[in-house]
A and B are shown apart, each in its own frame.
Chain A
Amino acid sequence: MAKKKVLAAEGADIQEAVVIEKPESRFKAMWDTLKKNKAALFGLFVIIILVIIAIIGPYITPYNPNKQIMNDAFQGPSANHWFGTDNLGRDIFSRIIVGTRVSLFVGVAAVAFSLLIGTVLGSIAGYFGGKIDAVIMRIMDIMLSIPSILLAITLMAALGKGIDKAIIAIGVVSIPEYARIIRSSILSTKENDYVAAAKVLGNSDGRIIFHHIIPNVVSSIVVRATLGISTAILDTAALGFLGLGVQPPTAEWGDMLGRVRSMVLVHPYMLIFPGLAITLAVLAFNLFGDGLRDALDPKSRS
């Protein structure tokens, strides 16, 4: 029940106290819708667990994830090593737990990076149109015409190895996608009369973009960003698989896959478990993103 606030009304004609309805918080309304979506709840649940693991993971691993015990190499899943050990005798379960932090951090940071730049570029292009629009969008088209993984590899080659470089590389690669989505949302939203009304009432261009247009396209942005995290996690894994992401011996899911790929037929568990971790994380963000899309649309609220 929303809290009700009783105010004495001013003015002679209204004598009785008037009950002012407190606004139902937007978050609560969103949560109410989200609650009903079981798949989204599952996604959220997995994301929360992944975040907890990312935070406390390094302190709870049963083994040192980087310690090579050659006597224990090539062990299948067992009570001692739940997910088995790799070719260097490192515990795969511990390495997956530690790798969560890298994947999530790179995923979120890369999306934040591309979202920030993509929103600014897309808003400017969509709102002002004309030559600015043409210049920005042609640059985006050029970026899109280069295969994304190739562009990321090229950027990594230019920037050097490391997590921070991976974030920039993956972030830059997905800027055109965000810029395009935001531009098209803004193009359709700015034709609304309420944007014209905002102009007539004396709002500045910046205020119109950030107070009147962005809040109305935020649902598509948030949904796209949540789904984008899963793409970024995949890209991180791909760079890791190619040996470009983190520096060894740091554990990273993609890197774990890449280093043992020649043994897939003999020791499949070495690839199955990191692969499952990637799939689970990507699936969780996808399910949650879909649920968010339904929850953020106020028109679908009852």
Chain B
Amino acid sequence: MDKREVLLEVQNLSKFFTVNTSFFGRPIDVLKAVDNVSFKIYKGEAFGLVGESGCGKSTIGKMLVNLYTPTSGKIIYDGVELTALKQKERRKYCKEIQLIFQDPYASLNPKMTIGDIIAEPILINKILPKNEVEKRVNYLLDCVGLANHQRNRYPHEFSGGQRQRVGIARALAVNPKLIVCDEPVSALDVSIQAQVLNLLDDLKDEFGLTYLFIAHGLNVVKHISDRVGVMYLGKLMEVADKNELYNHPLNPYTQALLSAIPSVDITHKKERIILKGDVPTPINPPDGCRFASRCFRANDKCTEHCPELKDIANGHFVACDFCGEINTERRIILENKQT
């Protein structure tokens, strides 16, 4: 059915943090940061991951780049199961998957010049011989829109946007295929956000990159992503093509989330779905649907049974048992569209 090549596949990935242990070391409180999440990222696409703070989207990113070890589940990159590899073997794949950090002020070593920061990964991974490194650094600086005479400056001499460009150049230095962008623009000014997003977009074509784009700003994700996944409390609620998701959200959480985007069109007044209560704590969550306590559609069944992420039609995945009737309507529309 799908002709596109899968670059990264995540199967039933979970990450639990033990918050509190009993005297004998038995875990009492477990924080389920990421709970049984599965998705695929195709070569050359930008996969957006949205959700509110603490829903586990950054944790997924960190597991992909080996900063966290998954509690269970598989990460399959280009046909290789990374989670089955030993640490030593796993490190070889470090340069394939790179990370762009959220905070451009904390992600650059203040004691290194930006030239050294970009050159270091090339040297330690032995990507180029020493005499070619300087040329490569200049090229990378040029790619991200920095002048190469700034090479010998320290990070504190740059603005936030420029630092983020250095961070991008550093990630590109090892010729990665997949870049995890962990909220790369949320620490930046709105005017700079657009510049950096456009830069990321351009680089994607130039270097043939694939992005996992983590963000909490829906507008940012809409701008850059091809497909979008919506997370809530460690669970993936809905995955679909960008336009499909933004125009026809099926999961009640996605619907509520999208209704929160302010509209400038006064003739078309949107109905705002206001959720009651707060996000429950991810520590020892109940068995049922994570969203059940706040869902405007929920019934008793929702609190008992955890819905799985199912393909409704045409690559639109939804984790909600209750919206079956809407799903049927939607499937009919989609199937008609296909034919």
A: residues with CB less than 8 A from B are 9-11, 18-23, 192-194, 196-203, 207, 211-212, 215-216, 298-299
Q: Do residues A19 and B174 form an inter-chain contact, with CB atoms below 8 A? A: no
Cα–Cα, bound, A11→B141 (Å): 13
Q: A9-B148, A200-B94, A200-B98 are in contact. Are A23 and B124 (CB under 8 A)?
A: no
Count of chain B residues with Cβ under 8 Å from any Cβ of A?
40
Q: A21-B152, A199-B67, A200-B66 are in contact. Are A216 and B109 (CB under 8 A)?
A: yes
Q: Do residues B156 and A299 form an inter-chain contact, with CB atoms below 8 A? A: yes
B149: contacting residue among A20, A197, A198, CB under 8 A: A20
Q: Which residues of B contact A207 (CB under 8 A)?
A: 124
Enumerate the 10 nearest inter-chain pairs by beta-carbon distance, A residue then B residue, closest first: A193-B107, A23-B152, A201-B121, A202-B94, A193-B106, A215-B111, A194-B109, A193-B101, A200-B65, A200-B99
Q: A18-B148, A20-B151 are in contact. Are A197 and B156 (CB under 8 A)?
A: no
Q: Do residues B148 and A202 form an inter-chain contact, with CB atoms below 8 A? A: no
Q: Which residues of B contact A20 (CB under 8 A)?
A: 148-149, 151-152
Q: Which residues of A contact B109 (CB under 8 A)?
A: 194, 198, 212, 215-216
Task: Name the residue of chain B whose CB is nearest to the CB of A10.
Answer: B135
How near does chain B come to A182, taking the closest CB pair, in angstroms?
A: 16
- 10 A/B residue pairs, CB under 8 Å, sorted by A: A18-B148, A192-B107, A193-B101, A194-B106, A194-B109, A200-B94, A201-B120, A201-B124, A201-B173, A207-B124
Q: Which residues of B contact A9 (CB under 8 A)?
A: 138, 148
How near does chain A come to B101, taking the closest CB pair, in angstroms?
A: 5
The reply on B153 being an interface residue by CB < 8 A is yes
A interface footprint on B99-140 (CB within 8 Å = 1, 0 otherwise) = 101110011111111000000110011000000000100110
A interface footprint on B158-176 (CB within 8 Å = 1, 0 otherwise) = 0000000001001001100
Q: A207-B124, A298-B156 are in contact. Are A197 and B94 (CB under 8 A)?
A: no
Q: Which residues of A contact B151 (CB under 8 A)?
A: 20-21
Q: Do residues A202 and B91 form an inter-chain contact, with CB atoms below 8 A? A: yes
The reply on B189 being an interface residue by CB < 8 A is no
The reply on B95 being an interface residue by CB < 8 A is yes
